[in-house]
Amino acid sequence: MFENITVIFQSTPWIFYSSVLFFGLCVGSFLNVVAYRLPIMMERDWKRECHEFLQLEPAKFDDKLVTLNLATPASACPNCGHKLPFWENIPVISYLFLTGKCSSCGTAISIQYPVVELITGIASLFAAFAFGVSMQTLAALFFTWALIALTLIDLKKQLLPDNITLPLLWSGILLSLFNIFTDLTSSVIGAMAGYLVLWSVYQLFKLVTKKEGMGFGDFKLLAALGAWLGISYLPQIILVSSVIGSVAGISMLLMGKTKQQQAIPFGPYLAFAGWIALLWGETINQTYLSFL
């Protein structure tokens, strides 16, 4: 069956790209759910574990919070509780059809939802264009979706959950067994180097300033990127993420969107640089070397 689908996609590329775009939009809708619910679920579990560790009375939660996971309850309006039927859950189209408002109470729906859906769909399409009908595209799609989820959560909560970074790390090493993007040796060394580079920067910064400059999630994310792409792409990822982060930070300071000494999440810049390296890293490296 898989071979038949592959033949169809190869003989009619427009079906392949249309399928990737549609599936990417649907995944984008799910990533909105992940970005909202996963931090809440983690906080709930942390409180429960703290109470158990300190031998306190069991933590009490609202019934809705106890049963909350990525699948249940069904999506609903946060203002009036109106449960969304499937025709109000169609990526992008439903938002436009509802004119950005709840059909029950008229409360405005955040623009984040269709924007994330569009970004996920377009990013998925770029991955498909880069690798064509191949196993690399399947892997690149998973990589893209994981990075988008991490970006959303880090922007909102300044948190890079182990629930996503660690599976991303181990899947990168697993794929290297089959030389999907790099070989096993480069993958393992890339994972170790990625973690140790930022860990060293963190320790040096803490020694000099007595402050913590970044979170441990950043170390794990760069380790995951190193596992997927190999040691040779780490300098490019670090350079690109640092440049983008610096430009963004200075721009937000000038526009008054942030203050000096205020923490700025670094995960989104690492994620974007890693995604760029996956799709066009080889071209960037070759261009740089030929320029030199």
pLDDT in tens, 39-70: 999 999 999 889 888 888 887 877 778 788 99
Task: Provide the sign of the torsion angle of the four alpha carbons 108, 110, 115, 117, taken in this order.
Answer: negative
Query: What is the rounded distance in angstroms from the CA atom of residue 60 to the CA atom of residue 63?
Result: 9
From 16, 50, 4, 15, select the one nearest 141 (Cα to Cα). 16
- Alpha helices (H) along 210-233: 216-229
Higher pLDDT among residues 95 and 1, named by residue: 95
Q: What is the pLDDT of residue 82?
A: 86
If pLDDT is split at 50, 70 and 90, which confidence band does 258 have? low
Classified as helix, coil or strand, 12 is coil
Count CB atoms within 10 A of the CB of residue 178. 11
> Count of alpha carbons within 13 Å of 266, Cβ hemisphere only?
22
From 68, 69, 282, select the one nearest 182 (Cα to Cα). 282
If pLDDT is split at 50, 70 and 90, which confidence band does 259 have? low
68-106 as b/e: b if 16+ CB within 10 A? beeeeeebebeeeebebeeebeebbebbeeeeeebbeee
Q: Is the pLDDT of residue 150 over 70?
A: yes
Tokens of 185: 């040796």
Q: What is the pLDDT of residue 210?
A: 78
Give the mean model confidence (pLDDT) for residues 245-265.
76
Q: Which amino acid is at 37?
A: R
Q: What is the pLDDT of residue 260?
A: 61
Q: What percent of the chain has pLDDT over 70?
A: 97
Compute CA distances 274 → 214, 219, 229, 254, whole Å.
18, 13, 8, 27
